[in-house]
């Protein structure tokens, strides 16, 4: 079933945009690209803008209602930035309405249940090639629903629309490492926020 969805996604990608290449599932989940390009904020935004629509369509294949409209949510970074911890990809961070206090919590406060953070990604190489990257999602669950992950659900969606792992659904072990790292900011409800140079305020 996964393979079928992967092939479907890959076919759609190839036919919609000749410049984009679906990376294979394994590559996307673990391997970082070696030389991400150095881009100005404007350059990164321009490249991202040209890929936004196809990103939305591709993640949409996963049929996750939680992130369906994520590109209409507030984006909290001024431009895509390289996230070493998410595969050296250029990433963006969106939060839904319930996550409007993104980055503003005082020590010990928590985001309300239903908060969703969506982090989409692209890779841009030194050679000027652009690739779609995975989507990283955190959803705050009702209190007590999943205490071992601080009541956060972590999901990763590959750029072909395949749901790679879900801590509360299929293949939870594949995304366990998410919380292992996010636990470093447990006092901020496991949420890191945007690197300083890319904050909007």
Compute and round to an integer the Cα radius of gyration of the chain.
16
- The Cα–Cα gap between 56 and 35 comes to 25
Residue 187 interacting with ligand HEC (CB under 6 A): no
**How many residues at the interface with ligand HEC, by CB under 6 A?**
21
What's the CA angle centered on 34, arms 181 and 172, to 5 degrees? 35
Which residue's CB is nearer to ligand HEC, number 6 or number 152? 152
Contact 182, 152 (CB under 8 A): yes
The only residue of 23, 28, 58, 83 in contact with ligand HEC, by rule CB under 6 A? 83
Question: Minimum distance between the CB of residue 137 and ligand HEC, rounded to whole angstroms?
Answer: 6
The only residue of 138, 141, 157, 158 in contact with ligand HEC, by rule CB under 6 A? 138
Q: Which residues of 38-51 are buried (b: 16+ CB within 10 A; e: fewer)?
A: ebeeeebeebbeeb
List the x/- string, 95-124, binding to ligand HEC by CB under 6 A. ----------------------x-x-----
Residue 153 interacting with ligand HEC (CB under 6 A): no
Residue 181 interacting with ligand HEC (CB under 6 A): yes
Name the one residue in this structure whose structure tokens are 């652009």: 130
- The Cα–Cα gap between 87 and 121 comes to 9
Contact 80, 92 (CB under 8 A): yes
Which residue's CB is nearer to ligand HEC, number 19 or number 197? 197
Which residue's CB is nearer to ligand HEC, number 75 or number 86? 86
Q: Which residues are at the interface with ligand HEC (CB under 6 A)?
A: 83, 85-86, 91, 93, 117, 119, 136-138, 154, 156, 175, 177-178, 181-182, 191-193, 195
């Amino acid at each position: 079933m996964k393979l079928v969805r992967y092939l479907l996604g890959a076919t759609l990608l190839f036919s919609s945009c000749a410049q984009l290449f679906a990376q294979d599932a394994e590559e996307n989940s673990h391997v970082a690209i070696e030389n991400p390009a150095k881009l100005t904020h404007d350059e990164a935004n321009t490249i991202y803008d040209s890929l936004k629509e196809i990103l939305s369509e591709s993640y949409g294949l996963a049929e996750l209602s939680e992130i369906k409209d994520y590109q209409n949510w507030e984006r909290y970074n001024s431009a895509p930035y390289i996230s070493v911890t998410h595969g050296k990809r250029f990433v963006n961070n969106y939060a839904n309405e319930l996550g409007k206090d993104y980055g503003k919590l005082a020590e010990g406060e928590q985001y309300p249940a239903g908060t969703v953070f969506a982090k989409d990604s692209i890779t841009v190489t030194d050679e000027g090639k652009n690739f779609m990257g995975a989507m990283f999602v955190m959803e705050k669950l009702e209190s007590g629903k999943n205490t071992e992950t601080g009541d956060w659900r972590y999901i990763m969606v590959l750029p072909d629309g395949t749901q790679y792992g879900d801590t509360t659904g299929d293949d939870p072990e594949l995304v366990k490492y998410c919380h292992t790292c996010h636990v470093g900011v447990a006092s901020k409800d496991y949420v890191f926020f945007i690197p300083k140079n890319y904050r909007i305020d």
